Amino acid sequence: MKKQGILNSEIASVLAQLGHTDTIVIADCGLPVPDGVKRIDLALTKGTPSFVETLQAILADMEVEHVTLASEIKTNNEHVLTKIEQHYQGEKDFVSHEDFKKLTKDAKVVIRTGETTPFANIILRSGVIF
């Protein structure tokens, strides 16, 4: 049995298989998942698990070189944006929510949380550990 890190076997497997510049998405419970993109559904009830809890766990186990967010988060969910900035200080960019949804088509996986606040979605681009 694993001693630390991600215990969810599907997430642990995806993270172990990521290469440089591969992307994953952590999403609220409303973000559409494109056909053909693997979905790991963690949503249990509204708000559980939260986006921030899930992001913290992933960031502790994944080398991230860049994140992409929907620009709408700046005005519609400042609380979650502040939490993201507390846990990730690296490179980031903002795109429209429509463009964000298009970018999810290239992700290795979309991890769906129980988050119910608007625009609580992030694309994490894998870095390298050397």
What is the model's pLDDT at position 53?
97
pTM (two decimals): 0.96
First to last CA, the chain: 27
What is the model's pLDDT at position 72?
98
- Is the domain spanning 9-126 CATH 3.40.30.10? The answer is no
Of the candidates 20, 66, 79, 87, the residue annotated as catalytic is 20
Q: From the first residue on, what is the mean pLDDT of each consecutive set of 10 residues in the chain (130 residues)?
A: 89 97 98 98 97 97 98 98 97 98 98 98 97
79 has binding-site annotation: no
C-beta contacts of 71-77 below 8 A and 24+ residues apart: 71/95, 71/96, 71/97, 72/96, 72/97, 72/118, 72/119, 73/118, 73/119, 73/120, 76/118, 76/119, 77/117, 77/118, 77/119, 77/120
120 has binding-site annotation: yes
66 is catalytic: no
What is the model's pLDDT at position 26?
98
Domain boundaries, the chain: 9-126
97 has binding-site annotation: yes
What is the model's pLDDT at position 1?
76
What is the model's pLDDT at position 9?
96
119 has binding-site annotation: yes
Cα gap 32→124, rounded to integer Å = 17
CB contact at 8 A, 31 and 98: no
* Count of Cβ atoms closer than 10 Å to residue 66 Cβ: 16
